[in-house]
């Protein structure tokens, strides 16, 4: 349920929208405005602070509070992530935007790959977004966004910030499903390949290391391959590392489908038979994975449900910025194909 100051903010926004208080005009003094809205001065101050955060009101000490922008009638959401060319992001954006359009809202998309956190936040504030879905690459940017006051949902757990809303895929369950599948098909050794380094993309690797022995799959530190490049190019670079190994595992678990496609492409060009010479799995179940040259065994994140959950959680936060923290770990399931 919305708090009093949030309900009062909605009333004041409507008055600005219908030009009871026009843009560039000064609002009535605090005593008068508080009486008009039937709230205390302390509640009114929270209302003014909230509307200033939204870019609607500007406080000028010793002068007064001024209307600087008419509130939108439609919500503006934002999606900020590194590497928007990643098919996972592209599909998430498509699905999330369907829900935004369904409520007659709008979606702003921004790539954070080469942009500092303060510039991202500055743009979000300049555009006066109502809320942002944020897929961070590092913790620092996450904490900065939290401190900005913009309602936000993280698509990653942030250990150093215990107050943010987040939605994540159950990576450990997905990795366990892959390991169980490999064991049941007679695979006794496996490596892990990831085409991007970063503090928030290690959960799948950690789950692989933690659970491999439980499923009778042997691992070796030399079989954990990492490169700086992401995507298909990263997958090709990972294969170059793999082929140089003196001893090789029977299977490679790739961080995501995008890496796996590049890895398989390089393996086929080298003359390897997939899955005859090497078993390869991905993660995410992007649309390409089922139609690729070698249909990819992967983990389905049920992205349609995932995007729907993200929209619901962010909408809840926008409607009630003071509500308790929201955390949801989304289910996933293995899809067995040829690779």
pLDDT digits (tens, 9 = 90+) for 34-63: 888 899 988 888 888 888 877 788 889 888
Across the chain, mean pLDDT equals 89
Q: What's residue 201's pLDDT?
A: 59
**What is the rounded CA–CA span in Å between residue 132 and residue 152?**
5
- pLDDT for the residue numbered 254: 97
* CA distances for 234 relative to 91, 266, 294, angstroms: 20, 11, 18
pTM over 0.85: no
Q: Among 22-31, 127-136, 198-207, 266-275, which stretch is predicted with the lowest mean pLDDT? A: 198-207
Fold match between domain 76-169+304-332 and domain 171-300: yes
Question: Tens of pLDDT along 112-164?
Answer: 877 777 788 888 888 889 899 998 766 555 566 667 778 899 998 766 667 78
CA 199 to CA 206: how far, in whole Å?
12
Report whether CATH 3.40.50.2300 matches the domain 76-169+304-332: yes
Per 3-state DSSP, the chain is made up of helix, strand and coil in percentages (nearest 5) of 45, 20, 40
Let me know the angle formed at the C-alpha of 94 by 92 and 95, rounded to the nearest 5 degrees: 65
Angstrom distance (rounded) from CA 84 to CA 74: 25
Q: What CATH number labels 4-67?
A: 1.10.10.10
d(CA 148, CA 138): 16
CATH of span 171-300: 3.40.50.2300
What's the confidence (pLDDT) of residue 297? 98
Close Cβ partners of 315 (under 8 Å, ≥ 6 residues apart): 131
* SS3 call for 262: helix
Where exactly are the structural domains of the chain?
Answer: 4-67, 76-169+304-332, 171-300
Q: Quick check: helix, strand or coil at residue 293?
A: coil
Structure tokens at 32: 């008068």
């Amino acid at each position: 349920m919305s708090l009093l100051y949030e309900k009062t903010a909605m009333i004041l926004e409507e008055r600005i929208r219908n030009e009871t208080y026009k843009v560039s005009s000064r609002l009535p003094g605090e005593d008068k405005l508080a009486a008009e809205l039937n709230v205390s001065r302390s509640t009114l101050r929270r209302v003014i602070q909230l509307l200033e955060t939204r870019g609607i009101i500007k406080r000028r000490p010793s002068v007064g509070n001024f209307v600087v922008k008419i509130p939108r009638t439609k919500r503006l959401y934002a999606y900020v992530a590194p590497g928007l060319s990643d098919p996972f992001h592209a599909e998430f954006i498509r699905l999330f935007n369907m829900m935004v359009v369904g409520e007659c809202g709008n979606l702003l998309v921004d790539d954070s790959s080469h942009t500092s956190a303060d510039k991202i936040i500055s743009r979000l504030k300049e555009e006066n977004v109502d809320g942002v879905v944020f897929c961070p690459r590092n913790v620092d940017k996450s904490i900065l966004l939290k401190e900005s006051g913009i309602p936000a949902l993280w698509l990653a757990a942030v250990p150093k910030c215990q107050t943010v809303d987040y939605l994540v895929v159950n990576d450990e369950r997905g990795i366990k499903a892959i390991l169980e599948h490999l064991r049941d098909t007679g695979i006794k050794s496996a490596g892990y390949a990831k085409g991007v380094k970063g503090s928030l993309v290690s959960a799948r690797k950690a789950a692989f290391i933690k659970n491999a022995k439980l499923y009778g799959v042997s691992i070796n530190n030399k079989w954990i391959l990492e490169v700086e490049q992401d995507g298909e190019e990263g997958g090709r670079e990972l294969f170059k590392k793999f082929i140089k190994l003196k001893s090789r595992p029977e299977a490679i678990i790739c961080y995501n489908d995008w890496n796996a496609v590049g890895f398989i492409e390089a393996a086929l060009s080298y003359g390897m038979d997939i899955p005859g010479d090497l078993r390869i799995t991905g993660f995410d179940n992007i649309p390409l994975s089922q139609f690729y040259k070698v249909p990819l065994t992967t983990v389905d994140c049920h992205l349609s449900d995932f995007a729907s959950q993200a929209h619901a959680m962010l909408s809840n936060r926008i409607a009630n910025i003071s509500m308790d923290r929201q955390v949801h770990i989304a289910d996933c399931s293995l899809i067995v194909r040829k690779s």
